[in-house]
Structure 1
Amino acid sequence: MRHRYSVSVRRCAHFGSLLASTAALVLALTACGPMATPHTSSGAPATPEADASAAPAEADAALASFTEVTAGVWASDSRAQGRAYIDALEVVGFAKDAMQVTADRSTVGNAAESLQFSVAWSDTQCLVGQVGPSTGEPVTALLPRLADGACLVGATRPIDW
């Protein structure tokens, strides 16, 4: 027989693990540097001059669009499929070659507890989304790029479709 206490302890432990993972991701993303070949939302390579003059309002508009697309896919039957987010972002004009996505399934074949996807927005910024059972509601943010130019920490899957 299970006790309510043991279930609560497991939930707290899971939440603590999620919180620690999220904190590690935020710390890793804040210690970022620029990428050598950035892209704009149109997919064209960005120049330092174009990036330097990009208004915060443009980044805010891109984040709003990214967030809207994320919410739309999350509300669909394809919510657990990374490809659905990538395809939907491409439809609204984000460059597929500037995107990254994590695997839909764990290494043992279970559905991923958390799915991340991103778009390299400028030479210094990324639009990053996270969805999944461990996340609850979708989370989106405009974050600095990693020192290696990527947007996501860890292994990502090829976007070869």
Structure 2
Amino acid sequence: MTPAATTPSEPAPTPPALHPEGTATENLPLFAQVVDHVWSSGNRAEGRAYIDALVAAGFPRDRMQVTEDETTVGNPVESLQFSVAWGDAECLIGQIGPSTGEPVTAVMPQLAEGRCLIGSTRPIDW
């Protein structure tokens, strides 16, 4: 009797994880995964859903910004942005909406006063 041939199995890929002491670039894979997960849900057009999911993944709420879900006349926005300021110089930024197609995530430099997004943002007070 001949032993069955076996092939070594590939190790399972390591899922993205939060690296609190790491760089924004090191945390981008987890940020992007969270964004993709919310994008594939029924809450894809709600800024709060992205903020809540990022908080649940361990990102610090007090370092976040999010734009409004609706225009001043009550229509859905063409582009919704959210961010996490990381360290003293970087931001993890996400953008979704009809104007972008699929979700976009990136690491960008922080703006003045530790902000990540230009223009007005809504309070994260929930």
Scaled by the length of structure 1, what TM-score is found? 0.64
Equivalent of 1:123 in 69, 88, 94: 88
Q: Which residue of 2 aligns with 1:66?
A: 31
Equivalent of 2:106 in 135, 138, 141: 141
Tell me the CA shift for residue 147 of structure 1: 1.9
Moved over 6 A (4+): none
Tell me if 1:77 matches 2:42: yes
Greater helix proportion: 1
Superimposed CA distance per residue, residues 75-128 of structure 1 (whole angstroms, 9 cap, x where no aligned partner):
100000000000000001001011000000001100011000000111000000
Find the residue that maps to 1:76 and give its secondary structure: coil
Superimposed CA distance per residue, residues 20-71 of structure 1 (whole angstroms, 9 cap, x where no aligned partner):
xxxxxxxxxxxxxxxxxxxxx75xxxxxxxxxxx66xx43331000000000
Question: Matched residue pairs, number?
Answer: 108
Greater strand proportion: 2
Name structure 2 gaps, 5 residues minimum. 1-18
> Structure 2: which amino acid aligns with 1:66?
F
Aligned identity (percent) is: 61
Equivalent of 2:56 in 91, 97, 103: 91
Tell me if 1:156 matches 2:114: no
Find the residue that maps to 2:118 and give its secondary structure: coil
Find the residue that maps to 1:112 and give its secondary structure: coil
Tell me the CA shift for residue 148 of structure 1: 2.7
C-alpha distance in 1 between matches for 2:110 and 2:81: 15
Scaled by the length of structure 2, what TM-score is found? 0.81
Structure possessing the higher relative contact order (Cα contacts under 8 Å, 6 or more residues apart)? 1
Q: Which has the larger radius of gyration?
A: 2
